[in-house]
Amino acid sequence: MSFARFTVRFAGPLVTFQDRGRPGHKRFGVSASGPMDRLAHAAANVALGQLAGATAIEVSMGGIVLACTEGAVSLAVAGGEFGIDLAGSGPEGWAVLTIEAGQTLTLRPGRAGSWCYIAFAGELQCGHWLGHAATHSTSGLGGGALVTGQELEVANTRTCPDREGPIAQPAFARFDGTARVVMGPQDDLFDAAARTALTTETFQLTDAFDRMGVRLDGPRLSIGGALSIPSEPVARGSIQVAGDGVATVLLADHQTTGGYPKIATVIGPDQDGLAQLRARDALRFKAITPAEAVAAARTHAAARVAWLAEIATPRGTLMERLMRENLVDGVVRADSDS
Amino acid sequence: MTALPRFTPVAEHALLVQLAEEVGDRAARAVLALDKALADRPPEGLVEVVPALVNLLVEFDPVVTDHADMQAAVAALLDHAPDHAPEVATHDVAVCYDPDLGPDLAAVARATGQSEEAVIAAHLGGGYRVGMYGFAPGYAYLTGLDPALHVPRKPTALRDVPAGSVIIAGPQCLVTTLKMPTGWSILGSSPARILTGDPSRPFLFNVGDHVRFTRIDRAAFEAMGGAPA
Query: Which of B13, B57, B138 comes nearest A233 by C-beta?
Result: B57
Query: Which of B10, B48, B136 comes nearest A139 by C-beta?
Result: B136
**Residues B189-193: what's their mean pLDDT?**
97
Least Cα distance to B18 among B100, B75, B60 occurs for B75
**Residues B76-98: what's their mean pLDDT?**
88
In angstroms, the CA A70 to CA A48 distance is: 20
CB A274 within 8 A of CB A175: yes
Which of B12, B19, B69 to mutate: most A Cβ within 10 Å? B12
How close does chain A come to B52, measured CA to CA in Å? 6
SS3 B102: coil
Whether residues A293 and B53 touch (CB distance < 8 A) is answered with no
In angstroms, the CA B141 to CA B133 distance is: 6
pLDDT in tens, A149-171: 999 999 999 999 999 999 999 99
- B12 shares contact with chain A (CB less than 8 Å): yes
Q: Which CA distances in Å does B229 have to B165, B185, B225?
A: 12, 20, 9
Q: pLDDT at residue A323 above 80?
A: no
Least Cα distance to B89 among B227, B206, B223 occurs for B206
Using an 8 Å CB-CB cutoff, list chain B residues near A231.
52-53, 132, 134, 141
Phi, psi of A104 (to 5 degrees): -125, 135
In angstroms, the CA A118 to CA A102 distance is: 18
Using an 8 Å CB-CB cutoff, list chain A residues near B68.
291
Query: Which of A232, A257, A296 comes nearest B12 by C-beta?
Result: A296
Q: pLDDT at residue A204 above 50?
A: yes
In angstroms, the CA B141 to CA A257 distance is: 10
Q: What pLDDT is recorded for position A337? A: 41
Handedness of CA B42, B45, B47, B53 (dihedral sign): negative
Q: What pLDDT is recorded for position A91? A: 87
Q: pLDDT at residue A331 above 90?
A: no
Q: pLDDT at residue A92 above 90?
A: no
Give the residue from chain B lying closest to A267, CA to CA.
B11
Q: pLDDT at residue A116 above 60?
A: yes
Q: pLDDT at residue A327 above 70?
A: no
| Beta strands B90-95; A116-120: pairing state | unpaired
Question: Could you give the domains of chain B?
Answer: 6-80 (3.30.1360.40), 90-223 (2.40.100.10)
Using an 8 Å CB-CB cutoff, list chain B residues near A238.
10
Q: What pLDDT is recorded for position A244? A: 87
Whether residues A235 and B52 touch (CB distance < 8 A) is answered with no
* pLDDT, averaged across chain B: 95
Using an 8 Å CB-CB cutoff, list chain A residues near B25.
none
The complex's ipTM works out to: 0.95
Q: pLDDT at residue A178 above 50?
A: yes
Count interface pairs A-B at CB distance under 8 A. Answer: 135
pLDDT in tens, A281-300: 999 999 999 999 999 999 99
* pLDDT, averaged across chain A: 93
User: For residue A33, what are the contacts with CB-CB under 8 A and spacing of at least 6?
Assistant: A18, A21, A22, A132, A134, A135, A136, A137, A142, A211, A252, A253
Q: pLDDT at residue A29 above 80?
A: yes
Q: What pLDDT is recorded for position A324? A: 74
Whether residues B199 and A131 touch (CB distance < 8 A) is answered with yes
Q: Beta partners for A89?
A: A86
Which of A187, A294, A305 to mutate: most B Cβ within 10 Å? A294
Cis peptide before B5 (omega within 30 of 0): yes
**Where are chain A's structural domains?**
3-173, 178-288
Query: Which of A25, A182, A230 comes nearest B54 by C-beta?
Result: A230
Query: Which of B12, B199, B207 comes nearest A293 by C-beta?
Result: B12
In angstroms, the CA B198 to CA B210 distance is: 21
Query: Which of A138, A139, A232 comes nearest B55 by C-beta?
Result: A232
In angstroms, the CA A261 to CA A240 distance is: 6
| Beta strands A282-287; A178-183: pairing state | parallel
SS3 B103: coil
User: Which CATH number describes the domain made up of A178-288?
Assistant: 2.40.100.10
